[in-house]
Amino acid sequence: MSSRPYVIDQMISAKSIAARIEELCHEIHDEFEDTDKLVVVGLLRGSFVFIADLVRELDLPVEVDFLEASSYGDAMESSREVRIYKDLRGKIEGRDVLVVEDIVDTGHTLHHVTRFLQARNPARMKTIALLDKPSRREVDFSADWIGFSIPDEFVVGYGIDYAQRNRNLAYIGKVRFTDAD
């Protein structure tokens, strides 16, 4: 954990997040209304709050699975090396899949994960991210659905952490360091 002191300024309220999730679920329902069971794959750890709220709002039969991938560790910058720490428990071959990510930054993680999962031959695979930082993109990747597009700020809350802290905030907040560096 960094010893640099910081404060968190609210960027996106819990109420705004809930309203946006409701809108997104209508669009997801329209895309997958013909499926018998949608496999919703959450990318751990940052998406766990988002995926919980998302699947509760979806009016579809869903199965939930998780994959843990990271290019950050405890750092504020992506290492650009994506590592898979935990694989899916279930099979996705021939199934409809929705991959849920907390934030698309450089694009490396979702690009790597979708290629990794596409090799398992899902019938259809779509992606959703709560947050998108298009100004940081290094890989040509866009999620099918985006909750909010944000500027290049380091954010926490709603499952997103800084060195394993602040995941429990009900809102998205911008980290502002208070030291004189």
- Active-site positions? 105
Q: Residues 136, 71: contact at Cβ < 8 Å? A: no
Q: Which helix (H) or strand (E) holds 1?
A: none
Per the document, the length of the chain is: 181
User: Sign (positive/negative) of CA torsion 97, 103, 104, 106?
Assistant: negative
- For residue 45, whether the previous peptide bond is cis, meaning omega lies within 30 degrees of 0, is yes
At 110, list the tokens. 């979702």
Measured N-to-C along each axis, helices 14-32 and 48-57 cross at an angle, to the nearest 10 degrees, of: 60
